Each structure stands twice: as structure tokens, then as C-alpha cells.
Amino acid sequence: MADRCRVRVATEADLGGIVAIEQEVFSDPWPRESFHRLLSQLALVADDGDEVAGYILAHWAGEESEILNLAVHPEQRRRGIARRLVEEAVVRLVANGVRLVFLEVRASNEGARAFYDGLGFRQMGRHPGYYHRPREDALIMARTLALH
Ligand SMILES: CC(C)(COP(=O)(O)OP(=O)(O)OC[C@H]1O[C@@H](n2cnc3c(N)ncnc32)[C@H](O)[C@@H]1OP(=O)(O)O)[C@@H](O)C(=O)NCCC(=O)NCCS
């Protein structure tokens, strides 16, 4: 259950677990080096004390932020882990003055679209042919963050 998972800042020691999920989940996975470079930005993992169950990477500049990557291990889904990862990232982004978070999602990825919709993200536009392997449009989704 998500209760058994801890959400924390990712470290280099998590790279193996992150890359293993990335390669299992995505048809066009990021290479290890991409994750390595982004660890200094906002990178969180959920772990169950043993293994990485999911991760989120985001970056920000000024009041705008982008979720760059988010995935949960297939055996750990629908337990609220991704929700906790996004909400923990949002807390940290708000603390840094971010007001708008956006992301791209494959048009055919109905599960992720439903997930983001449930967290208050709304479709703002489309990037034709943005993805490769297979080539596909990206939908741009965004959520305005309330300042506390
Ligand atoms: C999308 C993803 C990150 C969701 O992770 P998750 O930990 O299973 O999500 P949560 O358990 O936090 O889901 C919270 C809510 O989002 C919605 N949701 C999540 N996955 C869904 C799906 N496949 N279909 C419909 N709704 C979904 C549900 O409302 C869910 O609440 P519920 O389980 O009580 O019904 C996960 O399916 C995944 O890793 N997918 C592959 C990678 C991916 O698509 N990443 C996003 C790229 S932009």
C-alpha cells in the first residue's frame, strides 16, 4: 500500500531502480544519463524500504514548472503512489514560488490522462508528432497552484 511507501528525495543510489522501472514501462525510455543529470533538479522516489516503487522528476524556472517524468512500477499501481509523488512535488514547487505546472502526455495514454485529470490538470494544447517509437501527438496539460 502507499502507506508503506516513503516519498523522499532521490539519490544516485536510486538510479538502478528508477532506470529498471523506466525500461519496463516506456516504449522510448530515457537513458540512465538523463536521470543522472536531473537528480539535482526536483527528483523524488517512493520506496517501500526495499525497492523503488515510483519516481517523479520536475524542473522549474520562475513561476513555471514542468513534470518531466513520472512512473510507478506496474505491480504497485492504483495504490495512490503517483498521487503522493505529484502532491509532494507540488508542495516543494509551491515553496519555491511556482504557480503553474505543466506536462506532456501521449494522446493514447488514457490511464495517465485520467490520473492527471483527477489531480486538477487540464488540457491546454497539443504538440503534433512530439513522441517517437511510436510517433504520436503529445497533449499538454497544466494545473495552476494555489499559494499558501
Ligand atoms: C499514470 C501512473 C503514474 C499512475 O500511477 P498510480 O500510482 O497507479 O496512480 P494512483 O494510484 O496514485 O492513482 C490515483 C488516481 O488516478 C486515477 N488513475 C490512475 N491510474 C489510472 C488508470 N490507469 N486509469 C484510470 N484512472 C487512473 C484514479 O482515479 C486513481 O484513483 P483510484 O485508484 O482510487 O481510482 C502509472 O499508471 C504509470 O506509471 N503509468 C505508466 C507511465 C506513465 O504513463 N507516466 C505518465 C507519463 S506523462
Find the helix or strand (DSSP H, E) in which 147 lies. none
pLDDT tens-place values along the chain, 148 residues long: 567 889 999 999 999 999 999 999 999 999 999 998 888 889 999 998 889 999 999 999 999 999 999 999 999 999 999 999 999 999 999 999 999 999 999 999 999 999 999 999 999 999 999 999 999 999 999 999 986 5
Radius of gyration of the chain (CA): 15
Q: Please check whether residue 141 is in contact with residue 105, taking contact to mean a CB–CB distance below 8 angstroms.
A: yes
Domain range for residue 118?
2-144
**What is the number of structural domains in the chain?**
1
Q: Please check whether residue 105 is in contact with residue 112, taking contact to mean a CB–CB distance below 8 angstroms.
A: yes
CA of 112 to the centre of ligand 1 (A): 6
Q: Please check whether residue 18 is in contact with residue 30, taking contact to mean a CB–CB distance below 8 angstroms.
A: no
CATH at residue 91? 3.40.630.30
Ligand 1: which of 47, 67, 77, 110 to mutate, judged by most atoms within 8 Å of the beta carbon? 77
On the CB side of 34, CA atoms within 13 Å amount to 12
pLDDT of res. 1: 52
